[in-house]
Amino acid sequence: MNRNHLRRTSAGAAAVLVLALGLAACSEDDGGGDDTASEDTPTATEDSPPPTEEEPPADDAGAQTFGPGCKLIPASGAGSFNGMATEPVATAASANPLLTTLVTAVKKAGLVDTLNSAEALTVFAPTNDAFAKIPKKDLDAVLADKETLTKILTHHVIGEQLAPEALAGTHETLNADMVTVKGSGEQFTVADENSAVLCGNIPTANATVYVVDTVLMP
């Protein structure tokens, strides 16, 4: 009898243990464990880095320029729009590969300081190709004649800065004569030579430059 009694007692204890384990498992399935995991898991907001401010775009001195020739201006360096904007006009032009002949003429005429020291100018700047339209013999003769060269170059300069909307009209030049500009919007011609503006409204430190395709004659 003792053996039978022990078997019944052991079987009863095992049944109680199985029941207890089953209840514990059900309790975990009902979400008890999930609550703990939810508390321990950081939220997306806590993990997200703080928002950063976007850097402002760099100044673009060429934003208001116009004309088909503007694509020929270097994209970077001293001869670019941004580079020219930081220098007075004669120095700015000296860095632009389209204007090397003009810069040579300005130096021969002794006008570098005059142009760089002026407070506000509008300059019609002939390209190298514009000077190339003049027969070499005639161009060499002009470059060797400082008085004539000075008259021609100062005929390209107006003693105030003209924005595109004020460009059309007749204006007095530093040569004490007049130059007439025709056109509107983004298409202008200058003087009787009908010198076309290839790239307009280029800013320098003390002048507004309009690159033209023909040398103007006083």
User: Where residue 152 sits, what CATH number does that domain have?
Assistant: 2.30.180.10
- In the predicted model, is pLDDT for residue 142 greater than 70? yes
Of residues 71, 66, 81, 105, the one with CA closest to residue 186: 66
Examine the domain organization and report whether 85 and 22 are in the same domain: no
Residues 30 and 73 in one domain: no
The predicted pLDDT at position 27 comes to: 46
Query: 86 and 20: one domain?
Result: no
**Residue 126 host element (H or E):** strand 121-126
Based on the domain organization, do 21 and 77 belong to the same domain?
no
Mean pLDDT of the residues in the chain: 83
pLDDT at 18: 39
In the sheet that holds 178-184, the strands lie side by side as 157-158, 121-126, 207-212, 195-203, 187-190, 178-184, 169-172
pTM for the model stands at: 0.73
Are 127 and 172 in the same domain? yes
Judgement on whether residues 7 and 97 belong to the same structural domain of the protein: no
pLDDT score, position 9:
43
**Domain range enclosing 11:** 2-38
Does some domain include residue 16? yes
Residue 168 Rama label (left phi>0; alpha psi -120 to 50; beta)? beta
What is the tally of structural domains in the chain?
2
Structure tokens at 142: 């002009």
| CB neighbourhood size of 178 (10 A) | 13
Q: Do 17 and 84 reside in the same domain of the chain?
A: no
123 to 9, 78, 162, 207: CA distances (angstroms)? 114, 18, 9, 7
- For 49, the token pair is 């880095």
Pairing of the two strands 169-172 and 195-203: unpaired
What does the pLDDT look like over 163-213, one tens digit per residue?
Answer: 999 999 999 999 999 999 999 999 999 998 789 999 999 999 999 999 999
50 located within any domain: no
**12 in a structural domain:** yes
pLDDT at 197: 98
Residue 102 lies in a domain: yes
Alpha helices in 81-127 (DSSP H): 81-84, 89-94, 100-108, 112-117
Q: 140 in a domain, yes or no?
A: yes
Residues 14 and 77 both lie in one domain = no
